[in-house]
Amino acid sequence: MSPQTTPWIGAAAARVDGPVKVTGTAIYTGDVALPELAHAVLVQSTIAKGRITDMDIAAAETAPGVLAVCTSDGSLGIGRVASYYSADNGPMGDGRTPLSDAVIHHHGQHIAMVVAQTLEEAVAGAERIRTRYRHQSPLVRIEDAIPQTPPGREDIVRGDLTTGLAVADVTVEAYYETPPQHMNPMEPCTTTAHWVGDRLTVYDSTQYVSGVRDALASAFGVPPANVRVLSGFVGGGFGSKGTVWPHVLLAAAAARLVDRPVRLALTRPQMFTSCGTRPATRQRIVLGAHRDGRLTAIGHDGTSATSPGENVVESTGGLTSILYACPNVTIRQRIVRLDMQAPTFQRAPGRAPGSFALESALDELAHELRMDPVELRLRNHADADPSSGRPWSGKHLRECYRVGAERFGWDPADRTPGTRREGDVLIGTGMASATHEMDPGPAAAYAELRVDGTAVIGVASHDIGTGTYTVLGQIAADVLGLPPERIIVRLGDTDLPEAPPSIGSQTVAYVGPAIRRACEAVRDDLLAAAVADPESPLYRREIGAIEFGPRTYVAELARIGEPSVSAVGHHHPDANSRYAVHSFGAHFAEVAVDALTGTVRVRRMVGAFDVGRVINPRTARSQLLGGMTFGLAQALMEATVIDPRRGHVVEPHLAGYHLPVNADIGTLDVLFVGEPDPHISDLGARGAGEIGVVGAAAAIANAVFHATGVRVRTLPITPDRVVAGSAVGG
Amino acid sequence: MEFLRPATWEEALAVKAQHPSAVPIAGGTDVMVDLNFDRHRPDALLDLNRIHELHTWQIADDDTVRLGASVPYSKIIDALPDRLPGLALGARTVGSPQIRNRGSVGGNLGGASPAGDAHPPLLASGATVEAASVRGTRLIPIDDFYLGVKRNALEPDELIRAIHIPSATGPQQFAKVGTRNAMVIAVCSFAVALHPRARDVRTGIGSAAPTPRRASEAEAFIRAELDDTGLWTSAGELPLSTAKRFGELVARAAAPIDDVRGSAAYRRHALAVMARRTLLWTWNDHRATGRAAA
Amino acid sequence: MKVTFTVNGRPTEADDVWEGESLLYVLRERVGLPGSKNACEQGECGSCTVYLDGDPVCSCLVAAGQVQDREVGTVEGLAQGDTLDPVQQAFVDAGAVQCGFCTPGLLVQTHDLLNRAHHPSDAEIREALSGNLCRCTGYEKIMDAVRLAAARKADARDAAPTGLEG
């Protein structure tokens, strides 16, 4: 009965949500049509710091269709809910209670809300509000602020950095900068809330239905059981929907106020100030190495921006402490407080900007040593976790380098910059390592066998585009002996057993085993009863010898006259594992740089990844390809520009904030390396959602250096930066 | 808000005279963004989609194309690449296929954004804007059309009916620098057109000054060079040094600013590169055509 | 105002339309066709792509009043009853769908591409689909889907009786 080698796990099954998504019938939050639905719009601050001195809402209140106008006077009665970054580790992305006072903390802060019969009437009403402010000069540049040690955070010190540098034959020191970036999932955050008495139903585009439920229960003083949060389809998240943002509370407050269902959809421009950002970072890396490439010292100082009220740390040094074997390591993490919205985790938090700096610096060291950058990494391979000494739960990073280099056609001899030219176009190749740590979270799940030969599984997790519906069905299929099309998968509903938020690449790794436990429980309960029942044809059979499937359970259910049986299963990952659990990978990139205009095109990328067992190669591959493209975007395009004086986002929309289009992508290839991880769970799967991002930008930056001899240490690598660093030019 | 739907051009002019603040809308690619983002809420929208003639073009006896203001870019690309190669190249880089199915030269001119992709080829071609009102019709040379950032020479009661663009008599090129391979808002752009019969070279610069503009000094330089060296007659090779000098003069003609998309210094640099390249491309084309004809 | 037009072959009337409203809003909120998605409202992402008189356009940039008496086709109209269009089927089969929010617009744009070009090159596909942003897939699976749909449509054409062969 062991499901270790079974047909559905590992199969490239087609997505079960494909048909509804291609016919336009998948219902996302903004598609939920409720009778009497009213619309709320948010008015946002046009200054970055100061106070509201006066707000005239008389004209708005009398505008056609307007049902309510709410100002920042605290009268909505929203209770305080703790932030994710506070000691209480609450669900909010920003712990300030919305519309509770007149203090302005950042540009784009919600300062009023208008609820009307139609969206147009709400917008027209909002336009009639006149606000006066007392301005203060905002602090918005990281360079202008004084770095602080984040509360409760200690430097990571291993050995002695000074000694390590003293014994080095070669040292490299460099500064790197990364800009603020916005997640910009295609679906803007949307909430629809509906009260019936003291019971609240909320449709929300979220990566964390349980967090939304808990936040709303606290904010409105009702038991969590009175709040149901539904999120069947989510149009991407990338972290912007991983915590609960003020607009969610405001939607529920609006619905209570007007006693009707209310939809509140953030506009694309509002997405730039309402649901987090990856903060800007400044990083300094110092490396020391022997002539043979062995690292003697790694210093990584990272400073990231946060808001006045939240202690968000973009942990750029997290991967530095584990990626290479090095006796002398110092990692310092500092924050600066800027008058900006609270940042949050964006896909591969800390590791995305951190890997850009660390893996660029390794490339700089390889260049100094005249050494193949792959070889340099192999010579510093960490055979055990250098930060804890623990063995790895599974690590095939050497294989990633080897297989990736082979597929890519990596030439270790061709490492001199600026030597491959096709007319005005310079060609270069670069590589980088990738890693992503797993953060274990407990999960529960539900499974039900039905007399009609189908099954239902359910968990309050999410499919944010990742393939959860499909992959969980495959896991269940093997246990239940059913093809996935006979299994109904339910997600995104707080009535289902609780799961962690869909963040940190943890859904398959930790929710998957819970699904397996639930399926085993319902199967084993049924069989245990059957073999003990003299009336059953299975009486006294050995459970392990029974081939389980619909024929078995349909007959049993029919015999005992039950339409269905169900069970709940739990998975509690070992928080104190004696293994260090990380995914690993290697990126290889080839770029073509116009020597004169400095434009960079990525011709091709190969990523080789060890993510443990791959449950579905098709969905996993797509996740990794998407991650690599995310990294490409960070390398070449993505940056949120903040006005240095007024503190607003310049061009907060998709014409100003560039995401890659289809024509920007060359050939991308993903290879799976490795094997099931025996130590994370009996499923053996680690995370694949984020590691594709880690190191991708560095691989491209390193390829640009190889092409041109220009080292761009500030993201994104725009044409003007390439030209500015270039001696070639006009 | 009113939604005005004239069925004929005459009716449109009458409506515009009555409602000078009415915003003309054809492809909607600018107007609807302002409405969707609630940046601007006009008293009235004046829909030009029902006026069939604005979607058509005619060729005059002197080979000038009279291009209806609403002809979408996709039609220009498909139907007019031989007569208007510079404009067709510029049109290919406008937004996406969906945008090119709706956006038009009339809209680009009405908006007069310095980043509009149609402007540099229109300048290089020596186009004329046909503007009309109930008071009559006037032809505005393209050089006089752009007055400032998003400001043009139209009177409040005027609408753009057509753009008169001479058919190409020589090679034309368009180049644009941006951070993406498509859907690019120009960091800067440049168009050049050779006019062998007139022994003239004209240029257009986009996104590098408050208005689209020509590089007059560069044009004078290259005209003189081609005349003095007899290259128009000999169809000989254009010296790289000449092309470089041309590029430098084009860069000098720009008045760029530092902004989100690029620094002023970079814009000048990129313009010099694009001008040099496009001049060489067009000149080499010209020589190849000349040889083929000979 | 009232707007009368045809959607997916069906005469349709929308009442109380605000004059500044987009076709996208009318489709989603007044006609009950939420398949077309609202993601940028400025023609930058293509999630709202629909056919307007046979040409794919961003419905967020079409004023509602402009569709009076015209024909609109949306993602909801691509399938023939329960049979998916080859483009839809290829997106499912190739795994080109992730979060699905960009998918409806991509399908309409791809449908148009393959009507105009039977054997598009990769460069043509990438260019034709560059107005459709996808944040999840990295576009590779979308490329696979378009190639697959093109091949299947070609096979179907080859298999179809021409009428000349007895």
Predicted confidence (pLDDT) per residue in C3-35, tens digit: 999 999 999 999 999 999 999 999 999 999 999
Q: Sign of the C-alpha dihedral, residues A198, A201, A202, A206?
A: positive
Contact A25 C76 (CB under 8 A): yes
CA distance A576 to chain C (A): 33
Rounded to 5 degrees, φ, ψ at B129 are: -95, 125
The whole-number pLDDT of residue C164 equals: 52
Burial of A357 (0-12, 13-18, 19+ CB in 10 A): buried
For A690, nearest residue in chain C (alpha carbons) = C136
In a domain, A12, yes or no: no
Is the same domain home to B152 and B105?
yes
CA distance A677 to chain B (A): 40
For C19, nearest residue in chain B (alpha carbons) = B3
Scan for tokens 């829909």, then name that residue: B47
pTM above 0.80, yes or no: yes
Q: Is the pLDDT of residue A83 over 80?
A: yes
A3-12, A428-437, A532-541, C48-57: the lowest-pLDDT one:
A3-12
Instruction: Please tell me the number of Cα atoms within 13 Å of B209 on its side-chain side.
Output: 21
Q: What residues make up the domain containing A417?
A: 281-439+578-724
**8 Å CB contact between B169 and B214:** no
Q: Tell me whether C63 touches chain A (CB under 8 Å).
A: no
Burial of B35 (0-12, 13-18, 19+ CB in 10 A): buried
| Set of chain B residues whose Cβ sits within 8 Å of the Cβ of C61 | 27-29, 32-33, 99, 102
Interface of A with C in 624-643 (CB under 8 A): 625-630
Convert A281-316 to b/e letters by CB count within 10 Å (16 or more is b): bbbbbbbbbeeebbbbbbbbbbbbbbbebbbbbbbb
Give chains near B: 3+ CB pairs under 8 A: A, C
Contact C138 A22 (CB under 8 A): no
Mean predicted confidence (pLDDT) in C46-61 = 98
In a domain, A165, yes or no: no
DSSP 8-state class, residue C27:
I
Q: Is the pLDDT of residue B291 over 90?
A: no
Instruction: Please tell me the number of Cα atoms within 13 Å of A705 on its side-chain side.
Output: 26
In a domain, A426, yes or no: yes
CATH number of the structural domain spanning residue A353: 3.30.365.10
Q: Is the pLDDT of residue A674 over 80?
A: yes
Is the same domain home to A458 and A423?
no
Q: ipTM for the complex?
A: 0.96
Q: Is the pLDDT of residue A5 over 90?
A: no
Q: Is the pLDDT of residue A4 over 90?
A: no
Mean predicted confidence (pLDDT) in A21-47 = 98
In a domain, A586, yes or no: yes
The whole-number pLDDT of residue A579 equals: 96
Is the same domain home to B45 and B88?
yes
In a domain, A170, yes or no: no
Q: Tell me whether B2 touches chain C (CB under 8 Å).
A: yes
In a domain, A157, yes or no: no
**8 Å CB contact between A39 and A116:** yes
| Strands A295-306 and B146-148, sheet pairing | unpaired
Q: Is the pLDDT of residue A613 over 90?
A: yes
The whole-number pLDDT of residue A3 equals: 40
CATH number of the structural domain spanning residue B278: 3.30.390.50
Q: Could you tell me how many residues make up chain A? A: 730
The whole-number pLDDT of residue A6 equals: 58
Distance (Å, whole) CA A708 – CA A711: 8
- Mean pLDDT for chain A? 96
| Strands A600-610 and A667-672, sheet pairing | parallel
Q: What residues make up the domain containing B188?
A: 172-293
Contact B179 A730 (CB under 8 A): no
CATH numbers and ranges of domains, chain C: 3-77 (3.10.20.30), 86-159 (1.10.150.120)
Residues 6+ apart with CB under 8 A from C83: none
Which tokens sit at B167?
A: 């058919």
Is the same domain home to B148 and B219?
no
CA distance B219 to chain C (A): 34
Pick from A395, A434, A388: nearest CA to A576: A388
Is the same domain home to B284 and B178?
yes
Pick from A434, A431, A368, A435: nearest CA to A704: A431
Is the same domain home to B45 and B111?
yes
Cα C79 to the center of its chain, rounded Å: 11
| Cβ-based contacts under 8 A for chains A and B | 67
**8 Å CB contact between A527 and A537:** no
One-letter-per-residue 3-state SS of C85-149: CHHHHHHHHHCCCCCCCCHHHHHHHHHHHHHHCCCCCHHHHHHHCCCCCCCCCCCHHHHHHHHHH
Which tokens sit at A161?
A: 């950095």
Distance (Å, whole) CA C24 – CA B33: 13
Is the same domain home to B205 and B103?
no
Is the same domain home to A85 and A219?
yes
For A264-276, the pLDDT digits (tens) are: 999 999 999 999 9
- Active-site residue numbers of A? 690
Pick from B162, B147, B69: nearest CA to B113: B147
The whole-number pLDDT of residue A727 equals: 55
Is the same domain home to A490 and A525?
yes
Is the same domain home to A556 and A595?
no
Confidence label for A332 from pLDDT (cuts 50, 70 and 90)? very high
Confidence label for B292 from pLDDT (cuts 50, 70 and 90)? low
In a domain, A175, yes or no: no
Contact A185 C88 (CB under 8 A): no
In a domain, A255, yes or no: yes
Distance (Å, whole) CA A489 – CA A458: 6
Mean predicted confidence (pLDDT) in B133-156 = 97
The whole-number pLDDT of residue A576 equals: 84
Q: How many Cβ atoms are within 10 Å of C75's Cβ, its own excluded?
A: 28
For A132-176, the pLDDT digits (tens) are: 999 999 999 999 999 999 999 999 999 999 999 999 999 999 999
Pick from B181, B247, B269: which is nearest to A664 by CB?
B181
Cα C134 to the center of its chain, rounded Å: 15
Cis peptide leading into residue A716 (ω within 30°): yes
Q: Tell me whether C141 touches chain A (CB under 8 Å).
A: yes
Is the same domain home to A494 and A607?
no
The whole-number pLDDT of residue C163 equals: 52
Is the same domain home to B252 and B285?
yes
For A625-668, the pLDDT digits (tens) are: 999 999 999 999 999 999 999 999 999 999 999 999 999 999 99
Mean predicted confidence (pLDDT) in A469-496 = 97
Q: Tell me whether B182 touches chain C (CB under 8 Å).
A: yes
What's the domain count of chain A?
3
Which tokens sit at A681?
A: 């769970």
Is the same domain home to B178 and B138?
no
Instruction: Please tell me the number of Cα atoms within 13 Å of A660 on its side-chain side.
Output: 27
Give chains near C: 3+ CB pairs under 8 A: A, B
Residues 6+ apart with CB under 8 A from C88: A22, A23, C78, C79, C107
Is the same domain home to A40 and A22?
no
For B146-164, the pLDDT digits (tens) are: 999 999 999 999 999 999 9
Pick from C39, C47, C139: which is nearest to A662 by CB?
C139
For B3, nearest residue in chain C (alpha carbons) = C19
For A422-474, the pLDDT digits (tens) are: 999 999 999 999 999 998 999 999 999 999 999 999 999 999 999 999 999 99
Distance (Å, whole) CA A702 – CA A600: 12
- Mean pLDDT for chain B? 95
Is the same domain home to A468 and A407?
no
Is the same domain home to A566 and A466?
yes
Which tokens sit at A531?
A: 């073999």
Q: Is the pLDDT of residue C162 over 80?
A: no
Q: How many Cβ atoms are within 10 Å of C15's Cβ, its own excluded?
A: 9
Q: How many Cβ atoms are within 10 Å of B111's Cβ, its own excluded?
A: 16
Is the same domain home to B74 and B195?
no
Pick from A362, A358, A383: nearest CA to A374: A362
Distance (Å, whole) CA B98 – CA C52: 10
What's the domain count of chain B?
2
For B216-246, the pLDDT digits (tens) are: 999 999 999 999 999 999 999 999 999 999 9
Is the same domain home to B162 and B195?
no
The whole-number pLDDT of residue A2 equals: 40
Burial of A425 (0-12, 13-18, 19+ CB in 10 A): middle
Pick from C88, C132, C138: which is nearest to A22 by CB?
C88
Mean predicted confidence (pLDDT) in C77-101 = 97
Pick from C50, C136, B184, C27: nearest CA to A187: C136
